[in-house]
Structure 1
Amino acid sequence: MIDITAQVAAALRGDPDTALFDYQGRAWTRAQVAALATRVTALLDQAGVGPDDAVGVVVRNRPQHAAAMLGLISSRRAMTTLYAMQSPEALARDVREGGFAAIIADTRDWSDPVRTAADGLLGIRLAADGTADLVPGRDRIGPGPFRHFTAEPGIEILSSGTTGKPKRILFPFRMLVRAVESVTAGHNDAVPEPEILTWPYGGIGGMCNLVASAVIGRHTTLFDKFNVAEWADAVRRRRPRWVSGPPAVARMVLDAQVPKEDLASVECFYGGGAPMPPALQTEFEETYGIKVIWAYGATEFCGTVVSWTPALYERYRDAKLGAMGKALPGISLRVVDTVTGAPLPADREGYLEALVPAVSADWIRTTDLALIDADGFVFHRGRGDGAILRGGFKVLPEKVAAVLQSHPAVLDAAVVGLADHRLGQVPVAAVEARAGMPVPTEADLLALARRELVAHHVPIRVRVMEALPRTASLKVDLAAVRRLFEEETIHG
């Protein structure tokens, strides 16, 4: 069996002068990354933090955080990723409830609430200059108790969280081979193309990229948060043949009217994280002459399980527009009945299941509705757990959102269900107004919905916003949208 942790360790011992990252105009060499990785693990060793003790890493897309995580992986130390993009109070709650022996975080993330929550834990702070030291007052571990990964150490990662509270999923280190496979699938580059990273390191997409880039020796450009201007500048400087990201990246690049010549080196846009709307794919391809190669995966799969390839694109692009692709080699897929769980034939809609041998010997059920056609292409049909039951009628949020998105002044839309005393649930919607156009009114959008939808699909409210709340991976944060309406109801 391939030992990815050993490969990461070997990668850190490579040519010390090779640049592995650039961030805010500064290059980070392999020597700098390896030195910081060694420093972090040494601090843990000296404090008596065992290799199977739970260590929380407050993750940002910065070289020092990448170095710290590579150090943990290469020394086979268990870790849990924690989102930095939340309030100090929320982060403190994660620290308090995690059962950690140690917390590793950027200097700026050691706020008073987090320091207080880390009482009795070892605290390591990462500085922008590539150094790491102990947090004053948090320089030794207390008596615990702490969580231990006694069965098999690995990485705990939060699943998406776009439909409610995220759940932590543990990936033993042996599964990291999937990370490399899912990132390198379809790429046969003699010299690895530079990565301009849009995926957060705290999620499965970012973690897969971190591990794969280390193993194959790929240079990565990092941003704290996706920004079109910084991204376009990186594309101009690094001249990659391909870029990657969720649909929101394509949409934002188009809306910013990034000149075609700035993306002249790019041949393919590899994406995932959410279904790519066919109209958006066509607009992006026609504007930039860049092929859109889509994929589908999930935290539970430890990466991608379905994807297009350039060869599939050349043969099937028009005939299979809207598909997520076909199963990757070694992956089995099926669609099952949403009620009985029985496998369904081709072209029937149900829950998608995947058999991923590196992860589990059992079929893994998703709540994604899909169909697999006779040629093996997978089409996403929405989320089975997102339906709103309004007085016995089922409301499909994706259908309502699609109608609202058809308004020329709407960039994006999200639909959620609110509890209702009489009907059980009622749909409400929030839309993101498109910049540079007259802001649509709630009355305009409700009139559109009434025109295009059956009565029980029409939302009771439409809130027009400058920007929809999003997760770190740029997906609409449905839980945050729901809270907006719930707070509005409470405060009248």
Structure 2
Amino acid sequence: MESSTATDFSTLIRERLAGYGADPVIEFEGVWYTGEDLAGISSRIEELARAAGVPEDAPVALVVRNRVPHAAAMIGLVGAARSFALVYAFQSAEAMARDVDRLRPAVLVADRADWTPPVVEAARRCGTVGIALTLDGERVTVVDGLDVLGPGPFAEPPPEPSVQVLTSGTTGPPKRIAIRMPVLERAAQSALMARPAGEPTPSVLFAPFGGISGVCSLIAVPFSGGRTVLLEKFSVEELVSNVKRFGLKALGGPPAVIRMILGAGVPREDLASVQLYMGGAGPLEPELKQRFEEEYGIPVLWSYGATEFAGGVLTWTWDLYQQFGAAKRASSGKPYPGVQVRIVDPATGAEVPIGERGILEAAVEMLGPDWIRTNDFASRDEDGFFYLHGRADGAINRGGFKVLPETVISTLVEHPAVQDAGVVGTPDERLGEVPFAAVELVDGAEPPTEEELKQFVRDRLPAYCVPTRVRVVDRLPRTGSLKVSVEGIRALVST
């Protein structure tokens, strides 16, 4: 039955892409690309793969960049019900080559610039067919010397068509999680749940295609019959420009986008058309949410999910917001339809009483009956709203005292000169671990001293939460999805 559902979803995506015809679908760098453009790119990939002797169920890998040919390739692979794995482009050529060696795909699709000597050599070792993408001239070509399928061995195809999506890499190297096509459909649906009523305006897509947010947002475009403006890299200026050009009704993104909009001092009138901000991909401080809503008059509907769940677990709806938005600003909302959520004791697995903190677990109907444990501390109130309190696996053990980085971050960003912050634990001979913080300042702000920032935390939190060092940086290291990179913060400790 599930394979049939996968086929149905893939057929739907294929038919809807074809249905655009000569109508525009994706704008990139000021140029609109039609349904025929996208279908032509994806069809050419399939044609070249067949000509090279690649079976229809053979594994495919795609080095993803937020560019039109890559979007067309991904939509086409979903529409063809092909399994494929995503490879980050934002890594060294040698690391990309190691990915190819690990994945052993029958076909590797990548931007022409990503076909470096190490990647070509890795594909040759594996017997992989190489396909290059570009927007200049012939958009899809076979890589010289990689035009015939080699002997392999190649990776075994999964039992069902699926997409191997990369986790965000916030706390360490990204991992791949297989998302079956029916689950991807659920993810696309969840990306559309809170859209404002009325004639839809284009979306602005900047989430990296390698992660679940980017995949869902992209597939949601043909799924809904919509249009999108694709940004290779996020910038406040481009976002605001598109709001004004198209009168966009909805915006979305992680907490960093809200901070950047406020930090840039975007005038209220520039966002006058926006009716809703739909956010997620990290905790949002209630004070920041309130400040954004008061500054722009735009309701913020936050959600919580993870790659493992292929979409949302908790969310705010417009009805919930109207009834409880002011009273429960710190909440991540209630469970999505088809999702059960509970809070358990991390040691015993027993559910904790209402109001107490524990580990969040969720059971998603589409994924099966099992409860999936997260690494997030959470609690539930008497009205069934859930609250997140930081990641259990990121807690800093300072001489027996647990310091949650999110708690220190939330305090640091209250300082008027601080736009964003990152906190990690560093080894300490006496205490085991101590907190280290890095902060990015609001543009034009008078830089506070390190001691001033420490005192700011000391005035608001227990003494064991005060970082032993606070470093001011021009820009915090971030992942492709704009989250502050924990590994990047760790790298700052020794510099």
| TM-score, structure 1 normalization | 0.94
Residue in structure 2 matching 1:478, options 465, 483, 486: 486
CA offset digits 1:278-301 (Å, max 9, x no partner): 121112111211111111111011
Q: Check conservation: 2:196, 2:249, Cα contact below 8 A.
A: no
Change (3 A) 1:127 1:347: same
Residue in structure 1 matching 2:128, options 110, 114, 121: 121
Q: Counterparts of 1:189 and 1:142 in 2: how far apart (Å)? A: 52
CA offset digits 1:387-442 (Å, max 9, x no partner): 11122222221222233223222211111112344433222111112220122333
Change (3 A) 1:133 1:328: same
Residue 185 of structure 1: aligned partner: 193
In structure 2, runs of 5+ residues without a counterpart are none
Question: Which amino acid is 1:123 matched to?
Answer: G
Residue 59 of structure 1: aligned partner: 64
Residue 49 of structure 2: aligned partner: 44
CA displacement at 1:190 relative to structure 2: 5.9
Q: Check conservation: 2:201, 2:246, Cα contact below 8 A.
A: no
Identity %: 46
Q: Check conservation: 1:197, 1:244, Cα contact below 8 A.
A: no
In structure 1, runs of 5+ residues without a counterpart are none
Q: Check conservation: 1:7, 1:215, Cα contact below 8 A.
A: yes
Residue in structure 1 matching 2:447, options 435, 439, 445: 439
Q: Check conservation: 1:302, 1:359, Cα contact below 8 A.
A: no
CA offset digits 1:209-253 (Å, max 9, x no partner): 122211211101011110111111111112221111111111111
CA displacement at 1:74 relative to structure 2: 1.0
Question: Which amino acid is 1:390 matched to?
Answer: R
Q: Counterparts of 2:190 and 2:155 in 1: how far apart (Å)? A: 30
Q: Counterparts of 2:447 and 2:122 in 1: how far apart (Å)? A: 43
CA offset digits 1:87-135 (Å, max 9, x no partner): 3333232223222222111122222332233223211111124711011
1:62-141 to 2 correspondences below 5 Å: 62-119=67-124, 120-129=127-136, 131-141=139-149
CA displacement at 1:323 relative to structure 2: 0.9
Deviates more, 1:211-220 or 1:388-397: 388-397
Change (3 A) 1:150 1:474: closer
1:299-318 to 2 correspondences below 5 Å: 299-318=307-326
Q: Check conservation: 1:198, 1:244, Cα contact below 8 A.
A: no
CA offset digits 1:326-358 (Å, max 9, x no partner): 111121111111211111232221111111111
Residue in structure 1 matching 2:224, options 202, 216, 225: 216
RMSD: 1.8
Q: Counterparts of 1:58 and 1:440 in 2: how far apart (Å)? A: 42
Residue 353 of structure 2: aligned partner: 345
Question: Is the aligned partner of 1:256 residue 2:251?
Answer: no
Question: Which amino acid is 1:144 matched to?
Answer: G
Secondary structure of 1:296's counterpart equals: strand
Q: Counterparts of 1:205 and 1:180 in 2: how far apart (Å)? A: 10
CA offset digits 1:146-184 (Å, max 9, x no partner): 112242221001112212222210012222221222112
Question: Is the aligned partner of 1:398 residue 2:403?
Answer: no
Change (3 A) 1:319 1:392: same
Question: Which amino acid is 1:94 matched to?
Answer: D
Residue in structure 1 matching 2:473, options 455, 465, 484: 465
Question: Which amino acid is 2:258 matched to?
Answer: A
Residue 331 of structure 2: aligned partner: 323
CA displacement at 1:189 relative to structure 2: 4.4
Q: Check conservation: 1:51, 1:76, Cα contact below 8 A.
A: no
Secondary structure of 1:371's counterpart equals: strand
Secondary structure of 2:393's counterpart equals: coil
Q: Counterparts of 2:223 and 2:199 in 1: how far apart (Å)? A: 13
Secondary structure of 2:55's counterpart equals: coil
Secondary structure of 1:13's counterpart equals: helix
Question: Is the aligned partner of 1:169 residue 2:177?
Answer: yes
Residues paired across the two proteins, number:
487
Residue 270 of structure 1: aligned partner: 278
Q: Counterparts of 1:465 and 1:64 in 2: how far apart (Å)? A: 36
Q: Check conservation: 1:51, 1:78, Cα contact below 8 A.
A: no
Residue 428 of structure 1: aligned partner: 436
Residue in structure 2 matching 1:388, options 396, 403, 406: 396
Secondary structure of 1:432's counterpart equals: strand
Secondary structure of 1:358's counterpart equals: helix
1:225-240 to 2 correspondences below 5 Å: 225-240=233-248
Change (3 A) 1:215 1:374: same
Q: Check conservation: 1:242, 1:267, Cα contact below 8 A.
A: yes
Q: Counterparts of 1:221 and 1:337 in 2: how far apart (Å)? A: 44
Question: Which amino acid is 1:473 matched to?
Answer: S
Change (3 A) 1:190 1:147: farther
Secondary structure of 1:118's counterpart equals: helix
Q: Check conservation: 1:308, 1:324, Cα contact below 8 A.
A: yes
Change (3 A) 1:293 1:112: same
Q: Counterparts of 2:263 and 2:456 in 1: how far apart (Å)? A: 23
Deviates more, 1:204-213 or 1:133-142: 133-142
Deviates more, 1:122-131 or 1:310-319: 122-131
CA offset digits 1:354-393 (Å, max 9, x no partner): 1111112201111111112111111111111111112222
CA displacement at 1:481 relative to structure 2: 1.2
| TM-score, structure 2 normalization | 0.94
Deviates more, 1:378-387 or 1:179-188: 179-188
Residue 247 of structure 1: aligned partner: 255
Change (3 A) 1:188 1:288: closer
Q: Check conservation: 1:52, 1:148, Cα contact below 8 A.
A: no
Question: Which amino acid is 1:407 matched to?
Answer: H
Q: Check conservation: 1:99, 1:147, Cα contact below 8 A.
A: yes
